[in-house]
């Protein structure tokens, strides 16, 4: 007997010889199965270690918030149990791949014999791998390669392991694992990814025509639509489904026209999804997946995202393109909303504005005043001088702070200075506390990215440090918690309270909250009617960095702390946008949303505080004020303003300018409250101190005195002149 293959005669092995070979192979495999081979995982282990290529972020209620792709080796969806798959799908796959699946023990000897006969030349070639044998190659790819053209030894090993798997697993477990692991078209792996990516539906909704197409794809995943339809039609005839070949080809062409991507899912918290699935290690793993439940409230997250988008659209004409919002539960430290950018409204939607470092502006002032009050250096009623100030810097030069309105207000209380964010009094406070102790407090609240104290100098009082919204919001939450700092967390049970430490005393924290909620004291700068004036109790502070590159608004009620940053990720300045006009309206909208149903009452004063009616004759007011016990005062008098040298500053270094004629280079002496006083420079009288005195600088170190009529020294400074006329 002969057959012709490719035009050449070929001898066919006798049927009896084939039967003998098949019987011998069966005996050898059966005997080999008693040998110890590679350990096979259990069905439970395979399900447990299976990972979707998509990470799903769930909110605190278990509702999907976001999806992020974690693996680029293939697209895998969630594991699907056999009971959640269409019966037509199961029937089609078994018919196409292993029609005696339910009766053989891992190796289909009839199929092996038929394959051997065809290999010998009796018909078209076809493999004899069962579903179980294919599953073995998925489970142990190193031991049994999945590529075609296996050696006889590898095939023998695959059969042996398939029989072992059949003894350890149930048939349903084998079919379920196979369908969840088998590759389909493109990069789709597993039946769920295939049904979603090709037909846009879950496996349980697959109809017979779709089932036939999917089963036909297993053997040739990337075959042309016409070829897949031809195979699907033949499969339908075998099953008696009566499918139309024309209809199947149309379905294939329509389905294969798609990009075969999984549905995009939700994208409400992309920055949190990337952060949590990266394991907070900065690198997204190449394998992983599954679902992570976070602390975010999905409904609140969506509302805050939408609110940020609206405000960015409104501020776009004033060159504001980016923003970020963080909402925190005060008691637990759980983050309820985390919006890192404005999404479609943002210039760089993937940048995380919650974690980005930006200049703080006046947003750090509450912690400086809390330090000073805690150390009993000032009280809320203390009078601070808002007048021209010059401070010599360690590296040379002078620091001359200015108020935003370029005006001086004279003596103001610490309460008014903080509530109305007046700059110069804050610098006078950091002169009392020192820069290093203030920096220590910020580090105690785990502000990241801080530098040494001498890098900032006194400018730290006005927010020259770069900070993140994450750290700043939690620092304000520290004030809301009575001065006790704990960490924030994004996962339930994530150890929010870990590392609790007291940063400020409860009395000092309460006084700061009372100041930041004081509408009247805030009115000096913001008026009585501003976005900061809420109908419920809330303590809030704004901040604007140099050149209006950043503005902030952070504040807290009894239960929540809300932080808002607005600006541009590129660092471009905004156009006339302050904290009260940029970030504050959004802060107010979110805070109203949180307190709409049940507004918070003012917190109760902690032990250690004393309330007093305090008169301030210098301002012509009397008000009820809070004091740390032992610092209370019923009358606060302005200090007697004796003569004070305003210019030059003590320690100032002055250099000649070689480009200016010598006769035009003058240094002026200026004093405050100098009536009846006179100048003395290096022992030489320089005239009446009530008027400006101009002096031609001479090289060297000089001592300038302010003297009374009877010769008493009222004030003095030392300064240096470098260079001079040739």
Residue corresponding to tokens 């006078």: 428
- String of DSSP letters for 496-531: TTTT-EE-S-HHHHHHHHHHHT-HHHHHHHH-SSST
- Tokens encoding 211: 């089932």
Round to whole Å and give the CA distance between 566 and 542: 11
Strand partners, 384: 412
- ∠ CA 534-511-461, nearest 5°, is 90
Q: Spell out a b/e string for 544-564, using b for 16 or more CB atoms within 10 Å of the CB, else e.
A: bbeebbbbbbbbbbbebbbbb
Residue appearing with tokens 């972020």: 57
The phi and psi torsions of 648 (rounded to 5 degrees) equal -75, 165
Separation CA 610–CA 510 (nearest Å)? 12
Q: How far apart are the C-alpha atoms of 87 and 143, rounded to whole Å?
A: 33
Q: At what angle do helices 245-256 and 208-219 cross, to 10 degrees?
A: 70
Residues identified as active-site:
97, 362
Exposure string (b/e) for 402-423, b if CB count within 10 Å is 16 or more?
A: ebeeeeebebbbbbbbbbbbbb
Three-state SS string over 216-258 comes to HHHHCCCCCHHHHHHHHHHHHHHHCCCCCHHHHHHHHHHHHCC
> Checking DSSP bridges between strand 54-58 and strand 8-11, what pairing results, if any?
unpaired
CB 673 within 8 A of CB 641: yes
Query: Which residues, including other chains, have CB under 8 Å from residue 434's CB and lie 6 or more apart?
Result: none
Neighbours of 618 (CB within 10 A): 15
The C-alpha atoms of residue 583 and residue 598 are separated, in whole angstroms, by: 24
Q: Are residues 399 and 391 in contact, defined by beta-carbon separation less than 8 angstroms?
A: yes
Quote helix, strand, coil % in the chain, to nearest 5.
40, 20, 40
DSSP state of 489: B
Other CB atoms within a 10 A radius of the CB of residue 107 amount to 23
From CA 330, how far away is CA 681, in angstroms rounded? Answer: 59
CA 227 to chain centre: 48
Region at 265 (left for phi over 0; alpha for psi -120 to 50; beta for the rest): left
Spatial neighbors of 251 by CB under 8 A, at least 6 apart, are: 209, 210, 213, 229
Distance, CA of 626 to CA of 622 (rounded, Å): 13
Contact 233, 108 (CB under 8 A): no
Residue 527 CB contacts under 8 Å (≥ 6 apart), including other chains? none
Q: Give residue for tokens 């979603």.
A: 196
CA distances from residue 274 to 130, 229, 283, 459, 701 in whole angstroms, order as listed: 40, 40, 9, 36, 60
Q: DSSP of 389-441, one letter per residue?
A: --EE-TTSSEE----TTS---EEEEHHHHHHTT-HHHHHHHHHHH-HHHHHHH
Q: Helix (H, G, I), strand (E, B), or coil: what is residue 545?
A: coil
């Amino acid at each position: 007997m002969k057959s012709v293959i490719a035009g050449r005669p070929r001898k066919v092995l006798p049927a009896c010889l084939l039967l003998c070979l098949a019987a011998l192979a069966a005996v050898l495999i059966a005997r080999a199965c008693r040998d110890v081979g590679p350990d096979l995982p259990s069905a439970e282990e395979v399900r447990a270690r299976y990972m979707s290529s998509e990470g799903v972020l769930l909110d605190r209620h278990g509702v999907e918030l976001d999806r992020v792709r974690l693996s680029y080796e293939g697209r895998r969806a969630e594991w699907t149990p056999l009971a959640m798959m269409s019966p037509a799908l199961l029937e089609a796959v078994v018919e196409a791949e292993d029609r005696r699946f339910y009766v053989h023990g891992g190796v289909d000897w009839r199929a092996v014999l038929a394959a051997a006969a065809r290999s010998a030349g009796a018909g078209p070639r076809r493999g004899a791998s069962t579903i179980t044998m294919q599953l073995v190659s998925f489970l142990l790819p190193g031991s049994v390669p999945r590529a075609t053209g296996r050696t006889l030894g590898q095939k023998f090993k695959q059969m042996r392991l398939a029989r072992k798997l059949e003894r350890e697993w149930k048939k349903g477990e084998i079919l379920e694992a196979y369908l969840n692991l088998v590759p389909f078209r493109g990069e789709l792996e597993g039946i769920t990814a295939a049904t979603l990516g090709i037909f846009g539906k879950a496996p349980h909704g697959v109809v017979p025509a779709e089932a036939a197409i999917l089963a036909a794809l297993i053997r040739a995943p990337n075959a042309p639509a016409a070829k897949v339809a031809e195979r699907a039609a033949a499969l339908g005839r075998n099953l008696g489904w009566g499918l139309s070949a024309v209809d199947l080809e149309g379905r294939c062409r329509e389905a294969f026209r798609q990009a075969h991507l999984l549905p995009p899912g939700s994208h409400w918290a992309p920055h949190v999804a990337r952060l949590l699935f990266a394991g907070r290690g900065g690198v997204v793993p190449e394998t992983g997946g599954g679902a992570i439940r976070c602390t975010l409230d999905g409904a609140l997250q969506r509302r805050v995202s939408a609110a940020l988008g609206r405000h960015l659209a409104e501020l776009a004409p004033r060159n504001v393109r980016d923003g970020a919002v963080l909402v925190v539960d005060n008691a637990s430290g759980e983050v309820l909303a985390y919006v890192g950018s404005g999404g479609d409204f943002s210039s760089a939607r993937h940048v995380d504005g919650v974690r980005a470092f930006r200049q703080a502006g006046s947003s750090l002032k509450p912690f400086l005043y809390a330090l000073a009050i805690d150390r009993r250096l000032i009280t809320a009623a203390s009078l601070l001088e808002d007048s021209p100030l010059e401070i010599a810097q360690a590296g040379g030069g002078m620091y001359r702070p200015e108020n935003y309105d370029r005006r001086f207000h004279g003596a103001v209380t610490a309460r008014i200075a903080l509530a109305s964010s007046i700059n110069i009094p804050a610098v006078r406070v950091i002169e009392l506390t020192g820069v290093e102790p203030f920096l220590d407090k910020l580090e105690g609240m785990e502000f990241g990215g801080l530098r040494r104290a001498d890098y900032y100098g006194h400018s730290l009082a006005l927010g020259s440090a770069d900070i993140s919204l994450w750290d700043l919001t939690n620092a304000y939450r520290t004030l809301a918690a009575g001065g006790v700092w704990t960490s924030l967390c994004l996962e339930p049970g994530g150890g929010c309270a870990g590392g609790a430490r007291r940063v400020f005393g409860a009395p000092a924290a309460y006084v700061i909250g009372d100041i930041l909620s004081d509408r009247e004291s805030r009115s000096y700068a913001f008026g009585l009617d501003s976005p900061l004036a809420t109908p419920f109790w809330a303590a809030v502070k704004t901040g604007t960095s140099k050149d209006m590159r950043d503005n902030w608004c952070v504040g807290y009620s009894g239960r929540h702390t809300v932080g808002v940053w607005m600006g541009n990720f590129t660092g471009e300045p905004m156009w006339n946008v302050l904290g009260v006009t940029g970030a504050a309206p959004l802060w107010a909208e979110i805070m109203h949303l949180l307190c709409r149903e049940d507004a918070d009452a003012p917190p109760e004063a902690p032990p250690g505080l004393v309330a007093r009616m305090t008169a301030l004759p210098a301002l012509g007011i009397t008000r009820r004020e809070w004091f740390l016990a032992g610092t209370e005062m019923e009358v606060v008098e302005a200090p007697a303003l004796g003569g004070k040298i305003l210019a030059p500053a003590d320690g100032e270094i002055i250099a000649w300018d070689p480009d200016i004629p010598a006769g035009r280079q003058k240094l002026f002496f200026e004093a405050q409250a100098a009536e009846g006083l006179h100048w003395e420079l290096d022992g030489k009288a320089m005239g009446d101190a009530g008027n400006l005195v101009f002096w031609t600088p001479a090289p060297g170190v000089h001592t300038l005195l302010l003297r009374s009529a009877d010769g008493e020294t009222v004030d003095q400074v030392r300064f240096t002149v470098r260079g001079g006329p040739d």
